[in-house]
Amino acid sequence: MLASNLEATIVDLLRLAVTDLPRDVSNGLEQALQKENNLTAKNQLNAILDNINLARQNSIPMCQDTGIQIFYVTVGSKFPLLHEIPQILENAVRRGTREIPLRPNTVNPFLHKNPNDNTGLHIPWINWKIIRGTDLQITAFPKGGGSENVCQLAMLTPGKGIRGVKRFVIDAVIEAGAKPCPPTIIGIGIGGGADICMKLAKEQLFRPVGQRHPNRKVAKLEEELLEAINATGIGPMGLGGDTTSLDVHIDFAMRHPASLPVGFAVQCWAARRASAIITKKGKVKFTSHKVD
């Protein structure tokens, strides 16, 4: 397996992610359109679906905000290019920025300077998991700014319990209103610590729409919150309607006796992600999209 092949595969992943929405998300939007009663909301959903199809057909980024580049990497300790992955990802991001193209979205917070290639200190950001084996699993997760700006953290007192979690989530959705480009996907992480619950929350954003948590209690909470959120009336783009979120995904970790941290992460309707498994010999299998 050559580094240049892996780089090309990651550029493919980035292109797939920003131009072709996974079917679970576009199907979720279509189902929402069927159920929607508000006329303005229907118009907004139709515009979104037209836009998704145009992007797919012409291989153009569906949204001009192609995000900050984040990767989730689960890699076997015997994968041949293990130590070269960060450099390969960075090169792929630079190349993808030119070729796809992606909007240059990295800004130095002190100098206001944009290097115009989507890289820079700590970006692309890589979430690592090292496991036994020889395969590499990569998810490209370009994350837009509008939905990121309404993410929140709550350090609840444990006495508030799951009721406190529910209230925090509903209040956060209402506070976010039109800003994150609804219909959204909501990711919630409970427990762990301040950083851990945020990380869990964000990882929930790329669980397929419609997939329930294996734990029945958590699954029930997901359904209950989804129903409540869609009764707010915020609607697509905050212009009113029955479709505020496509799904709510929750996960949890053990908590400290003194803490009940809750992470609240938000994904816009353009819920972009693309995943592949790459073997040590360089065989590629895309797992999020059908690719000929």
Partner 1 sequence: MVTYELSTPISEEDVRKLRVNDVVYISGTIFTARDEAHERALDWFISNKALPIDPTGLAVFHCGPIVRKVKEEWELVAAGPTTSTRMEMFEDKFIEAFKIRVIIGKGGMGPKTARAMKKVGAIYGAFTGGAAVLAAKAVRRIIDVAWLDLGMPEALWIMEVERFGPLIVAIDSNGTNLFEEVKAGVERSREHVYKLAGL
Toward partner 1, which CB reaches closer, 74 or 114? 114
Q: Hey, which bits of 98-144 come out as E strands?
A: 125-131, 136-140
- Convert 185-217 to b/e letters by CB count within 10 Å (16 or more is b): bbbbbbbbeeebbbbbbbbbbbbbbeeebeeee
Kindly state the smallest distance separating residue 171's Cβ from partner 1, in Å.
Answer: 9
Element (H, E) at 146: helix 145-148
Kindly state the smallest distance separating residue 120's Cβ from partner 1, in Å.
Answer: 12
Toward partner 1, which CB reaches closer, 41 or 196? 41
Name the residues that contact partner 1, by CB under 8 A.
40, 43-44, 47-48, 50-51, 54-55, 58, 60-66, 101-105, 107, 112-114, 116, 144-146, 149, 163, 166-167, 170, 174, 177-179, 181, 224-225, 227-229, 231-235, 237-240, 268-270
CA dihedral 9, 11, 12, 13 (to 10 degrees): 90
Toward partner 1, which CB reaches closer, 21 or 198? 21
Do residues 139 and 204 lie in contact, with contact meaning Cβ atoms separated by under 8 Å?
Answer: no
Toward partner 1, which CB reaches closer, 114 or 134? 114
Toward partner 1, which CB reaches closer, 160 or 212? 160
Kindly state the smallest distance separating residue 218's Cβ from partner 1, in Å.
Answer: 15
Toward partner 1, which CB reaches closer, 179 or 199? 179
Helices (H), 59-143: 85-99
Kindly state the smallest distance separating residue 18's Cβ from partner 1, in Å.
Answer: 9
Within 13 Å and on the Cβ side, how many CA atoms surround 248?
24
Q: Which of 188, 93, 194 is nearest to 141 (CA)?
A: 93
Task: Say if residue 80 is preceded by a cis peptide, omega within 30 of 0.
Answer: no
Kindly state the smallest distance separating residue 181's Cβ from partner 1, in Å.
Answer: 4
Distance (Å, rounded) from C-alpha 218 to C-alpha 222?
6
Kindly state the smallest distance separating residue 258's Cβ from partner 1, in Å.
Answer: 24
Toward partner 1, which CB reaches closer, 170 or 219? 170
Structure token pair of residue 271: 């819920």
Structure token pair of residue 163: 């009721």
Kindly state the smallest distance separating residue 118's Cβ from partner 1, in Å.
Answer: 11
